[in-house]
Amino acid sequence: MIVAFDALLSKRNVTLAARQLDMQTSALSRLLGQMREAFGDPLFVRSGRGLVPTPFAEALRPKVQALAAAIDGLFVPMVAGPAAESPFDPGWNKPGGTPAPPLATRPANLLEGQPTPDEVIANLERLGQSASPHDRLARHVGTLGIAGGGHGRPLTGGEAEEAMGIVLAGDADPIQIGALFGMMRVRGATAPELAGFVRAMQAHVAGRLGRPIHADVDWPCFTSPNYHNPPWFFHAAKLVAQAGHRVLLHGNTGSGAAAGRYEVVASALGIPVCPTADDIAAALDGERIAYVPLTALAPQIHRLIALHRLTQFRTAALEAVHLLKPGGGRTSLLGVAKPSYRDLHRDTARLLGWKEMAVLGSVRDVAQYAPFRPATIHRLIDGEPVDLALPALIGEPPATPRPRGSSLDYWQGVWSGAMRDARAERIIVGTTAFALFALPDTARMGIGEAMARAEELWKARRSC
């Protein structure tokens, strides 16, 4: 019941909490009834935004979260010491190899007195481009919600670009950063706002790289350190590269003790981990594939999205970074679980002038396709939106019992052939097919043809 209570507090939705716990919705509803009886409190009440915890349930939240984490810790090996995070597989969860400096900010002097809403509006109107970064960012924050009166509006693309540019330059006050992303989180980011953020991020990255990078496939992989699905998409990316396409993977796995996970994974598969533009270009020319940690690509963006550890909510910066596309690319492959965000990302891409992209629905934060499950693909083809609903293409293979040892050893063994796992192999082949299907220069092959080609690539793969 403690674990179920924790999931309900987090998701505020019985169906989503049941999915997280891998149990039937009816079973979780019965557990909720038992909890209500045990505590003598309704715990949750329904509203238009889902389940709302009662004051009693909110008071229990810290204890419930601590107990749930302790229960999880009984079944997962942990790293000794104060830096331990849950759950932790020491095989591929390593600290990042590229240190990132703290988020650069420029605190402002504390304001004295509280202006009236009319005074705030008048002050905002007087601010121009010659104003200081603090004043210009204050104008954009005020635009989102003038003096808390609820009369704000979303930012335009140009306003959002300037706001993010000020943040990335290190000229924002920490309070301004919190206000900017907090208000956008409450209201929800718009496509023009995300497009403005992406443009500012791309300009920031371009200034650090110092030279353009050219890839065929842009593959962002920004996942939570709590994302425990094996990264089979790295195998698929290597197959796409061995088929002759230039693949650029870029991302991170948080900022804690698991921040270097994808650096370990890429190195284990022989994918170059590249900290500089010259390294990226050399890897794409030689191996046709590269992985770039966000800490090397843009430490300021890395620290910005790492604020999640302080706020426990996804900011618009984390949504924008999936669209960073640092190496260009004829197509970009995204994984988006939340239905409303799929159209948001695609609409943002259209505002950015993208012609090709593929958003894989029903997965979390990274494009990894299981062909034995139904899925939706939200594409841009020549700049126009096209949706495709895919049924399960094959029956789900049975799970393969895994031998003792680290997950990294097993993951490598599937690529080398030392381990046979039919389910993992179908995910690798399916993800490869998804990537080939999304490329504009593959003569618009159908998904069946892409699956057949991916199967050939898997059988003919070259070991690292």
Question: Can you name the residues that pair with 379 across neighbouring β-strands?
Answer: 358, 386
- pLDDT value at position 124? 55
Q: What SS3 class is residue 390?
A: strand
- The residue ranges of the chain whose pLDDT is under 50 are 78-88, 110, 112, 147-148
Euclidean distance between CA atoms 427 and 138, whole angstroms: 47
For residue 145, give the nearest of 135, 155, 158, 134 by alpha carbon.
155
- pLDDT value at position 146? 55
- pLDDT value at position 389? 93
For residue 440, give the nearest of 206, 216, 232 by alpha carbon.
216
Structure tokens at 317: 């910066």
- pLDDT value at position 87? 45
Q: What is the pLDDT of residues 326-375, one digit of tens each?
A: 999 999 999 988 888 889 999 999 999 999 999 998 677 899 999 999 99
Question: Can you name the residues that pair with 62 across neighbouring β-strands?
Answer: none
Q: What is the pLDDT of residues 360-415, one digit of tens each?
A: 986 778 999 999 999 999 999 999 999 999 999 999 898 888 766 678 889 999 99
* Residue 1 CB neighbours (<10 A): 12
Q: Specify the DSSP element, H or E, that contains 51.
A: strand 50-53
Euclidean distance between CA atoms 20 and 314, whole angstroms: 18
Contact predicate 118/156, CB 8 Å: no
Q: What SS3 class is residue 215?
A: coil
pTM: 0.77
- pLDDT value at position 392? 93
The number of helix segments (H) and strand segments (E) in the chain equals 20, 9
Task: Kindly report the backbone phi and psi dihedral angles of residue 306, in degrees, each rounded to the nearest multiple of 5, phi listed first.
Answer: -70, -10
Contact predicate 293/96, CB 8 Å: yes
